[in-house]
Amino acid sequence: MATTDVGLHESASQASIAPVVNNMSIQVATVNGSGSQSSNTVLLRSIFQMGIPVSGKNLFPSNIAGLPTWYTIRANKDGYVARKKEIDFLVAMNPETASVDVMSLSAGAAVLYDEPLRLDSLRQDLIFYSVPYDKLVATVCPEAKLRKLVKNMIYVGVLAKLLEIDMGEVEKALRKQFAKKVKAANLNFAAAQAGYDYAVANLSKRDPYRVERMDKTQGKVIIDGNSASALGCVFAGVTMMSWYPITPSSSLAEGVIEYLKRFRITPEGKATFAVVQAEDELAAIGMVLGAGWAGARAMTTTSGPGISLMSEFAGLAYYAEIPGVIWDVQRVGPSTGLPTRTSQGDLLSTAFLSHGDTKHIMLFPASPLECFEMGMEAFNVAEKFQTLVFVMSDLDLGMNNWMSEPFAYPEKPIQRGKVLTKEDLDRLGSFGRYQDVDGDGIPYRTLPGTEHPKAAYFTRGSGHNAMAQYSERPEDYENNMLRLNRKFELARRLLPGPLLQGYGKSEIGIIAFGTSHWAITESIDQLRDEHNLTPDYLRIRAYPFAPEIADFVRSHRRVYVVEQNRDAQLFSLLKLDLESELTPRLRSLARLDGLPLDARSVTDELAAKEAQ
Amino acid sequence: MSTTSTPPPKVNRLGLSAIDYRGGKTTLCAGCGHNAISERIIDALYEMGVQPERVAKLSGIGCSSKSPAYFLNRAHAFNAVHGRMPSVATGAVLANQSLMALGVSGDGDSASIGIGQFVHLMRRNLPIIYIIEDNGVYGLTKGQLSATADVGSKLKTGVINELPPIDTCELAVSLGATFVGRSFSGDKRQLSAMLKAAVAHRGTVMLDVVSPCVTFNDHEGSTKSYKFMQDHDEPLQEISFIPGFEDIEIEYDPGTTLEVEMHDGSRLRLRKLEEDYDPTDKVRAITRMNEAKRDGEILTGVLYVNTQAPTFLDMLNLTDDPLATLPQSVVRPGREVLEQVMEELR
């Protein structure tokens, strides 16, 4: 009805009195397989190129085509890049989810929809813009079969007009996206321009959201965590990768392959690496063990179900002391769980993966930069300690696009650990594979093929003495296990240490790891502004835990352990590790619904607990 | 006064004596076929003049998999987990292609728990000598049936196997292994010649060696006993092997003998005991194996050989130097590479 329409326009124009600049989240609801990824990347990059901090999160189904998918872009002048709970601007392209998407918005949000969907009748407290996509795409794309792919670029142009995104930046981002495919770039830009022109002629701005140039992304890059991890591995000098495809880790392995093919072929055209797509995860880790044993820098990539399958070999690697790097890009379990949603749920199963007294080193990257740095460091740590290193990434980090400082070239040389050469053996006369010569628990090893009659030793998962001979003697078993423990204890002080934010003077503390970091840093500001709470924050970056973690708990009365799983896995590991008088200080803030953690949830729950 | 001259110690072309190829004292049962196979391995590597340090011994779990401790002490060894030696071997060979991988497995290790890794190893034609010490029974766990036990074969407990056996040779041939043979631990001459040829071959060698278990499967009614093998062994050829480093010319009749030139210039001579058997014909090989199964024969000898197929290393186009020891200057791309990637992401 006309009166309602006018009323809505009035309320909307009132809202536009106070513009909201560089602070919004845009959600694009599409159908997967419709080519919307390119449009969303162009949108993200255009805002990024305008100097505004931005993040993009893809919420997608475990499906190839035809199911709903949502992409959220958050632009924020303060640099907050965590998922924002509220959606300010919805681009509704999927008829199947459109009504639910619209109904879940907060009052005052804007909706851009495909004209035939007639969504404006659903709510009166939202701002609606309609676009006749099919008509517009027909004018710019004569080839009917391409229209489905080009259609999505129209909303980029419409948004550019409504949000004041520079069309020059849209074109630049688009040409980068399509790289050498000039024809495709031209066609897509024509679609974006058609959307822009349509908006100029037909849509009057009624929502408060807009962007304005800033200088906060100068020099920065946009990269997903899996690509960053892949780069780290390539610069670490990985020489053997075996892998089995599994979401969300496949793009990490594919990134490694892509970079290796580009950068690791000799001038003679030969590969300085071997990559094997294994028959399963059992074989993938087996190849890592074989290659690590024989001296390669070996890695595999997987997710939770693969970690479960690798269990037996992981115990062998721990006990036989074989280096290797395992990337776990965590997703939601148990079982197949939610394979395309994020989680921090593999901590406990990985820490003690396998049977008997087994424990493993884990690294926890929180950003693409740390994926790169830990990707390199993981190999050094694995070879130094002659054990597996698990790098615990997650789907949110691995598969989403993040702003990042550019990666610095590694100045630290590659460290290969205690390996004896033929010359060393000539000098020493002999060696015992599991002898603790240096008192640090780390023995020396030789590589197969070392041409010295005393170089060989027998690697086995059964009991062995310091000379690597088969032994069932109680003291041999116990001495060996105690030495392995000394090695593990040493690792506490030599792994990437925890990072403190705050002055350490507050009564309350927060402990978290990995991608929870982004919600926490935003939540800390909310807690200060809304509740006058100023928690100190310690981000854990490795297991076994550094001694500073106990110090942090000791110096705070209440420490909230925030993590993305149901069973408070980090909290549990901390309770096992800390002295018993410290554990009552720990409080768990563990939750998981498959979506990346948002600041609002942390703030509200922590404030509520503090109020008790 | 009589003069006695001590004969110089017998050495191979590397100047090493047989003792340099020995291992620890066996802990397997007296009379176990596996011990005879270890002896043949020692002889073959000694006679072929293989540098012991260049060998990587690999095994899974089971009686067979214990045996790498009983030969070649001077070679690194890896006793992996049950059924999963193939993946460990693959990793090791990729890390250092100058190693000669020698895998020892059993019928339980390869045909049951490890069948997945076994078949994929065969597909890749990775350079490796893979020996299955096949006794049709689980020894270490005291006598359960394995998947290579023949239909009708009887356990000591009286249990009769009703399930069809998995023929590891047939699988290996059809999947892509390039040197496949079956032998018997008691046939010294045949097994030695096949092992020497295995050393000379480039690609996956799969040898299924029937190796009777004297404790659990050597009784009347077993089809993997010494007696049964002696009665049912049908050798396809009389095998002789002339190493490439020995400059010997021996005449042979091409009408009755097939000569196969191996990768290293060695020659494998197969005097045909079956006139129409051609071990370079994959389809014929598979058919003949099935005929033998139908007729209750145990076909031994070189079942299939292909010296031309590319190996997994060829497919990966690996640089000649072992990946394991490539220096940082080769494996870490330069500063400008990282800067280029960063620029692409800006």
Asked if residue A294 and residue A389 are part of one domain, the reply reads: yes
Which residue stretches of A50-166 are H helix? 98-103, 133-140, 144-163
Q: Which residues of chain A have pLDDT under 70?
A: 1-17
- Phi and psi at residue A538, to the nearest 5°: -120, 120
CB A476 within 8 A of CB A463: yes
Asked if residue A294 and residue A156 are part of one domain, the reply reads: no
Assigned domain for A344 exists:
yes
- Return the residue of B nearest to A454 by Cα: B74
pLDDT at A5: 42
* Min Cα separation A278/chain B (Å): 8
Check if B340 contacts A (Cβ < 8 Å): no
pLDDT at B3: 58
pLDDT at A33: 79
Asked if residue A518 and residue A434 are part of one domain, the reply reads: no
Tell me the CATH number at A132.
3.40.920.10
CB B318 within 8 A of CB A274: yes
CA angle, A191 as apex, A53 and A112 as ends, to 5°? 60
Tell me the CATH number at A286.
3.40.50.970
- Phi and psi at residue A224, to the nearest 5°: -90, 155
- Can you read off the two tokens belonging to residue A339? 């394979």
Asked if residue A361 and residue A485 are part of one domain, the reply reads: no
User: Are B90 and A286 a contacting pair at CB < 8 A?
Assistant: yes
- Can you read off the two tokens belonging to residue A353? 């993966």
Assigned domain for B66 exists:
yes
- Return the residue of A nearest to B96 by Cα: A294
Q: Is A289 left (phi over 0), alpha (psi -120 to 50) or beta?
A: alpha
Asked if residue A529 and residue A594 are part of one domain, the reply reads: yes
**Cross-chain CB nearest to A453 (options B74, B79, B324):** B74
Question: How far is residue B106 from each of residues A27, A223, A321, B59, B219, measured CA to CA in Å?
Answer: 58, 48, 25, 9, 20
* Min Cα separation B100/chain A (Å): 9
- Residue that is last in its domain, among A381, A404, A427: A404
* Min Cα separation B9/chain A (Å): 19
Residues of B in contact with A291 (CB under 8 A): 91-92, 94-95, 323-324
Assigned domain for A411 exists:
no
Assigned domain for A90 exists:
yes
User: Are B79 and A462 a contacting pair at CB < 8 A?
Assistant: yes
pLDDT at A4: 39
- Residue that is last in its domain, among A443, A474, A494: A494
Whole-angstrom Cα distance, residue B163 to residue A263?
Answer: 52
Asked if residue A58 and residue A188 are part of one domain, the reply reads: yes
User: Are B323 and A272 a contacting pair at CB < 8 A?
Assistant: yes
* Min Cα separation B273/chain A (Å): 39
pLDDT at A2: 37
Beta carbon pairs, A and B, within 8 Å: 222
**Cross-chain CB nearest to A240 (options B56, B81, B323):** B323
Asked if residue A487 and residue A509 are part of one domain, the reply reads: no
Q: Which of residues 228-287 of B touch A (CB under 8 A)?
A: none
Q: Which of residues 140-179 of B touch A (CB under 8 A)?
A: none
Q: Which of residues 78-137 of B touch A (CB under 8 A)?
A: 78-81, 84, 86-96, 98-99, 116-117, 120
**Cross-chain CB nearest to B316 (options A268, A274, A291):** A274
- Identify the DSSP state of A404: E
Assigned domain for B244 exists:
yes
Percent of chain B with pLDDT over 90: 90
* Min Cα separation A62/chain B (Å): 27
Residues of A in contact with B319 (CB under 8 A): 266, 268, 270-272
Q: Is the dihedral of CA B242, B247, B249, B253 positive or negative?
A: positive
- Return the residue of A nearest to B324 by Cα: A296
Check if B16 contacts A (Cβ < 8 Å): no
* Min Cα separation A490/chain B (Å): 26
Number of helical H runs and strand E runs in chain B? 12, 13
Asked if residue A282 and residue A186 are part of one domain, the reply reads: no
Residues of A in contact with B92 (CB under 8 A): 290-291, 293-294, 448
pLDDT at A1: 35
* Min Cα separation A540/chain B (Å): 27
User: Are A290 and B89 a contacting pair at CB < 8 A?
Assistant: yes
Helix (H) or strand (E) holding B133: strand B128-134
Q: Which are the contacts of A530, defined by CB distance < 8 A and separation ≥ 6?
A: A603, A607
User: Are B90 and A290 a contacting pair at CB < 8 A?
Assistant: yes
* Min Cα separation B331/chain A (Å): 5
Average pLDDT, consecutive stretches of 10 residues, N- to C-terminus, chain B (346 residues): 69 96 96 97 98 98 96 98 98 98 97 98 98 94 93 91 96 98 96 98 98 95 94 95 88 90 94 90 95 92 97 97 98 98 95
Give A343-394 as a 3 state SS string. Answer: CCCCHHHHHCCCCCCCCCEEECCCCHHHHHHHHHHHHHHHHHHCCEEEEEEE
pLDDT at A10: 44
Asked if residue A393 and residue A244 are part of one domain, the reply reads: yes
* Min Cα separation B248/chain A (Å): 30
Assigned domain for A217 exists:
no
Asked if residue A487 and residue A522 are part of one domain, the reply reads: no
Which residue stretches of A386-433 are H helix? 395-399, 422-428
User: Are A456 and B77 a contacting pair at CB < 8 A?
Assistant: yes
In terms of residue numbers, what domain contains B191? 18-325
Mutate one of A223, A297, A447 to test the B interface: name it (highest B CB count within 10 A): A447
Residues of B in contact with A275 (CB under 8 A): 316
**Cross-chain CB nearest to A272 (options B54, B69, B331):** B331
Asked if residue A297 and residue A233 are part of one domain, the reply reads: yes
Assigned domain for A604 exists:
yes
Total domains in chain A come to: 4
Asked if residue A341 and residue A384 are part of one domain, the reply reads: yes
Question: How far is residue A64 from each of residues A57, A340, A371, A524, A594, measured CA to CA in Å?
Answer: 18, 12, 27, 39, 19
Total domains in chain B come to: 1
Assigned domain for B179 exists:
yes
Residues of A in contact with B337 (CB under 8 A): 263
User: Are A409 and B338 a contacting pair at CB < 8 A?
Assistant: yes
Tell me the CATH number at A525.
3.40.50.920
Helix (H) or strand (E) holding A21: strand A20-21
Whole-angstrom Cα distance, residue A559 to residue A568?
Answer: 13
Residues of A in contact with B105 (CB under 8 A): none
- Return the residue of A nearest to B75 by Cα: A456
Assigned domain for A466 exists:
yes
Assigned domain for B337 exists:
no
Helix (H) or strand (E) holding A316: helix A311-320
CB A249 within 8 A of CB A85: no
Helix (H) or strand (E) holding A287: helix A281-293
In terms of residue numbers, what domain contains A448? 419-494
Residues of A in contact with B68 (CB under 8 A): 458
User: Are B92 and A312 a contacting pair at CB < 8 A?
Assistant: no
Tell me the CATH number at B121.
3.40.50.970
